[in-house]
Copies of this chain bind each other. A is one copy, B any other.
Amino acid sequence: MGFTVYEIAQLIGGEIIGNAALQLDSLCKIQEATPGSVTFLANPSYEKYLYTTQASAVIIDKKFKPAHPLSASLILVEDPYIGFTKVLNKYQSLLNTPKIGIEEPNYLGNHVTLGEGIYRGAFSYIGDYVQLGKGVQIYPHTYIGAHAVVGENTIIYSGARIYPGCQVGKNCIIHAGAVIGSDGFGFAPQATGSYQKIPQIGNVILEDDVEIGANTTVDRATMGNTRIQAGTKIDNLVQIAHNVEIGKNTVIAALTGIAGSAKIGDSCVLGGQVGVAGHTEMGDKTMVAGQAGVTKSYKAGNITLMGMPAIERKKFLREYAIFRQLKNLFSATKSS
């Protein structure tokens, strides 16, 4: 498989400086690039690699002025990162054609609705009354409980589990081992000290274009829905508790936990290992630094939070600076 510099420039709407006919056969990071590859430069701190890279072509910002002479051909674009992503997508679509067809053995319940062009891997389990849209790819060992719905072109990787009655939108990707719709963690303390399980009769709704990472868990609602809105991307090993609602185009990094009934807005970004307390509300465009613990609501959004308990970033950094000054003052007093 290969592209010419010309073909790539055509694909991403770029302007060529150098040899348009050059043949390229791989995609690399700039610091690891091999001859015959195409790479990109988006982050200015990687500019140093530009002058030594072995890549044959570099996708680069059209406003960029090189400080030294270059051996690679350049493809000038508005946004090199988006441009390179387009090439990656093209490359992957040539490599990975969608899986289709039925492997045996598999289990298919009664009253199942199946769209066209579906893949059902060996040992996949599709319960009664399940609806699978066209082009759905169900990898081996996947479990889809009764009455669940999976939208068009969604990919469910090996060993993911969709509990009964849950709904997954179109063009979603659910990675291996993810669990959608396990019981919410709700127990009523009894006078004896033991706990009685509170039935969890709600469900989970994942809207379109949602990605769920490997071994991530999304609990069903006690009543009503746990809902993740369109375009939201969730990393590996994240816990989403019962009745949580997450807005559109929000990104949540690995090992984060969102406790019960919390509401997260649109276009938020949560770092890794963040904790969000139950029944709190986080407005749109909230950023949360890794390991922060959000213990109360920040409904207005448009804020960056850090620390445990999480406070506004500016405040956090100011307090940290004051602490350092106090410390120095104290050390000076002692030594004087």
Contact = CB atoms under 8 A, between A and B. Distances in A.
Interface stretch (A3-11, A56-64, A69-77, A84-92): A84-92
Contact of A217 (B211, B236, B293): B236
B253 A185 contact: yes
A330 B197 CA distance: 48
A199 interface: yes
Contact of A161 (B176, B291, B330): B176
Given A275-B291, A326-B330, A330-B322, A125 B233 contact: no
Interface residues on A, range: 35 or more
A217 B201 contact: no
Interface in A177-218: 177, 179, 182-183, 185, 187-188, 190, 193-199, 201, 209, 211, 213-215, 217
Most buried by B among A217, A255, A323: A217
A201 B253 contact: no
A235 interface: yes
A213 B95 CA distance: 31
B249 A273 contact: no
State the copy count for this chain. 3
Nearest to A267: B193
Contacts of A222: 29
B107 A103 contact: yes
Given A183-B175, A217-B213, A275-B291, A249 B107 contact: no
Contacts of A20: none
A91 B277 CA distance: 29
Interface in A202-246: 209, 211, 213-215, 217, 219, 222-224, 231, 233, 235-237, 239, 241
12 contacts: A85-B198, A89-B196, A125-B141, A140-B143, A141-B143, A145-B158, A159-B177, A173-B197, A176-B182, A194-B248, A255-B257, A273-B275
6 nearest CB pairs, A to B: A92-B199, A182-B214, A239-B254, A143-B158, A179-B214, A107-B122
